[in-house]
Structure 1
Amino acid sequence: MERVEQLFNALWQDYTQRLCPSAAQVHALLTEDEPLLNDHIALRTFNLPKVGLDKLAAPFIAIGYKPCGQYRFETKKLYAEHFEHPNPEAPKVFISELMVGQCSAQLQQALRELVDQAPEAALRDPSFLYGGRLWDIDSETYEMLAAESEYAGWVAAHGFGANHFTVSINQLEQFTEVRDVNHLLRHNGFAINESGGEVKGDPEVMLEQSSTMADRVAVGFLDGVKHIPGGFYEFAKRYPQADGELYRGFVAASADKIFESTN
């Protein structure tokens, strides 16, 4: 587990410093006697050969993770997989990629030009997962990408890193319901993602989720700094299956709405 912990610690540092500084406050609000259990993280990329989903999955597979589920988001033009470690305490990993070939010619060309700038050597080191952007981009290109695909704009601007970590509500003593966590966060000034309702999913699909809306963070572009949506914090409650084990997968309809936390 040591290698797993090292990788997730590095991802957490990047996430709280660069993408979602408010996560540290949320973390402090919810921490009880035991350290918070991270249910999963999510990573985003483009399905271009140099940076496709398989490239992001490789460092996790090298430390024991295995692919466990596939998901499609037709309207957002996304494909995703989730990965699990044999140790159930290890966080799950959800990796999505934009199906670039389904987008406009203008978007395809812009993304290919960005990804071409990424040094091959950097992509061979697992640290690229929390290394941010491997290309230069101006704000006009970002705006053009974001207008067609909010997801494309996000990855183009931020590069690689966890767009969210997820608190497992199952291990909390003070809270047993997603709604109660949302209430506490609202009371402390955090905005909750209302897309598809404040709680996505239900006991029937064995997973309930909610999330904060993304922090607005400063991002440097070739022509100056802009404040744009960064990362967000998610909360998940899992329900037991017929065999008594907690459900470990994801629900595409809920994940679809969680993506909108960065809108």
Structure 2
Amino acid sequence: MAMADRRRINGPTGATVPPVFLEQTLALTAPRRAPDELRKIFLKTSLTPPATGSAFLELSAPSTLKLTASVYGPRPLPPSAGFSPHARLSAELKFAPFSTAGNRRGYVRDALERDLSTQLQVALARSVKTATYPKSGIDVFVTVLDCEGSIDDYNTLGIMQALAGAITCASAAIADAGIECVDLVSAGIAAAVGEQGSLVMDPSPLDGYDVKAAALVGYMAGRDEITLLWTKGELNIEGGDFESVVDKAVEVATQIRTVLNEAVKERVLAVGGVNS
């Protein structure tokens, strides 16, 4: 009886056809979400052991937004730094080289990433009780692992969604680090689309909308306070379009806040509750 040759893997005897993946095609042909329907969010904390606090955020299909946030501190400032009665909060947002469609991103931060890092820092700064940690530094690092669409154009929804996700994810990581805050910060986006300027909540670049204007807000729901406002496109302030789009973005941030609350609550319960 002949023995099988175990040193090699024999190929099929007949012809084969390479598989064709239709995920992108199915995403484009799938029924569009309702204008007031938000995508599902997965948010989990404590996934980076070396960091003081960390979080991971992912939006549901057909979105491709995935990002992580890590927080280090509060830790003492170097001796060369001057005395500071408040903690120094720094934030850095970086796109992974493989995160965007088209050309790979560089390893060194470019002008876009530096600008987004500044906006991320502004959105988070008002929520942290910096006076509680004098002569200390708090460092926040956000890495975008997968971004919605291309970011070659600065004014794309993909960039706005990346910043919105970074704000929410970083706020969860700060809470996971046990840093005292006055409130949590969630971010939401709304847009006016089409010739009629219909309002859409949580628009995605993959939805195929003709976006005329969009607004991103960082929002502390408990204090009813906006920490960041970024608008895109033409908004008629006198006609009330500006207020309508911003109000819708605040509504999106308020709904996302419930996911943020659950993620933080899950972490608190996992460590045995809050010390009285």
TM-score, with length taken from structure 1? 0.29
Structure (1 or 2) with the greater helix fraction: 1
Instruction: Name the structure, 1 or 2, with higher relative contact order (CA <8 Å, separation 6+).
Output: 1
Structure 1 or 2, whichever has the larger Rg, is: 2
TM-score, with length taken from structure 2? 0.28
